[in-house]
Amino acid sequence: MIFLLLTKCIMFVCTIFAAVSFETDSPRSKRPFFIPGMKKSKLLPTAFSVMLLCGPAFSQHQDDEFQAKSAPVQFEDVEVLDQEAYKPKPIDTTMSLAVIAFGSCNKIDKPQTLWADIIANNPNIWVWLGDIIYADTSDMRALAAHYKRLKTNPGYKKLRSRAQIIGVYDDHDYGINDGCKDYPMKIGAKKCLMDFLDVPRNSPLRKREGAYQSYTFGKGAQRIKFIIMDTRYFRDTLQPDPNPNRRYYPSMTGDMLGEAQWRWLENELKNSDANLNILCSSVQVIADDHGHEKWGNFPNARKRLLQLIVRTQPKNLLIISGDRHMTEVSKMDLQGLPYPLYDFTSSGMTHIRSGTSEPNKFRVGDMIVKKNFGVLKVYWVNDHPVVTLEARGPKNELYQGITVKY
Q: Which is nearer to Fe ion, 176 or 278 (CB)?
A: 176
268 is an interface residue for Fe ion by CB under 5 A: no
- Tell me the closest approach of the beta carbon of residue 355 to Fe ion, in angstroms: 17
The residue (of 170 and 390) whose beta carbon lies closer to Fe ion is 170
Across the beta sheet with 363-368, what order do the strands follow? 213-217, 224-228, 276-281, 317-321, 341-345, 327-332, 363-368
Going from the C-alpha of 253 to that of each of 238, 249, 324, the distances in angstroms are 11, 12, 24
Q: Output the smallest distance, CB 347 to Fe ion, in A.
A: 8
Residue 170 interacting with Fe ion (CB under 5 A): yes
Alpha-carbon distance of 194 to 166, in angstroms, equals 10
Binding mask 98-117 for Fe ion (x = CB under 5 A): --------------------
Q: What minimum distance in Å lies between the beta carbon of 193 and Fe ion?
A: 14
Nearer to Fe ion, 31 or 181 (CB): 181
Q: Which stretch binds Fe ion (CB under 5 A): 91-99, 261-269, 323-331, 350-358?
A: 323-331
Cβ-based nearer residue to Fe ion, 39 or 351: 351
Q: Which of 338, 337, 282, 344 is nearest to 318 (CA)?
A: 344
171: contact with Fe ion by CB under 5 A: yes
CA proximity to 163, closest of 198, 214, 194, 195: 198
The CB-of-393 to Fe ion minimum distance in angstroms stands at 20
Q: Which is nearer to Fe ion, 195 or 323 (CB)?
A: 323
C-alpha to C-alpha distance for 398 and 403, rounded to whole angstroms = 13
CA gap 321, 293 in Å, rounded: 12
Min. distance of Cβ 90 from Fe ion in angstroms?
28
CB 403 within 8 A of CB 381: no
- What is the footprint of Fe ion within residues 201-240 (CB under 5 A)? none
Binding of residue 323 to Fe ion (CB under 5 A): yes
Residues in contact with Fe ion, shown as a per-residue x/- string from 123 to 152 under the rule CB under 5 A: --------x---------------------
Q: Is the dihedral of CA 181, 185, 190, 196 positive or negative?
A: negative
- Contact call for residues 125 and 101 (beta carbons, < 8 A): yes
Give min distance, CB of 324 to Fe ion, in A. 8
Q: Give the 3-state secondary structure of residue 357.
A: coil
In whole angstroms, give the CA distance from residue 213 to residue 278.
12
Closest approach, Cβ 210 to Fe ion, in A, equals: 17
Residue 66's CB is within 10 A of a number of other CB atoms, namely: 11
Smaller CB separation from Fe ion, 230 or 323: 323
Nearest CB to Fe ion, comparing residues 177 and 307: 177
Residue 323 Cβ, how far from Fe ion at the closest point, in Å?
Answer: 4
Number of residues that bind Fe ion (CB under 5 A): 4
Between 117 and 171, CB nearer to Fe ion: 171
Task: Kindly state whether residue 178 participates in binding Fe ion, applying the rule CB under 5 A.
Answer: no
CA distances from 365 to 63, 275, 345, 391, 394 (A): 62, 26, 12, 11, 20
Report if residue 390 touches Fe ion, rule: CB under 5 A: no
- The C-alpha angle 67, 72, 75, rounded to 5 degrees, equals 110
Note whether 328 binds Fe ion by CB under 5 A.
Answer: no
Based on C-alpha coordinates, what's the Rg of the chain?
Answer: 29
- By beta-carbon proximity to Fe ion, the closer residue of 247 and 377 is 247
Choice between 91 and 132, CB closer to Fe ion: 132
SS3 of 253-285: CCCCCCHHHHHHHHHHHHCCCCCEEEEEECCCC
Cα separation, 78 vs 68, in Å, equals 19
Please, what is the minimum distance in Å from the beta carbon of residue 131 to Fe ion?
Answer: 5
How far apart are CB 135 and Fe ion at their closest, in Å?
A: 12
Q: How far apart are CA 150 and CA 173, in angstroms?
A: 12
Contacts with Fe ion by CB under 5 A lie at: 131, 170-171, 323
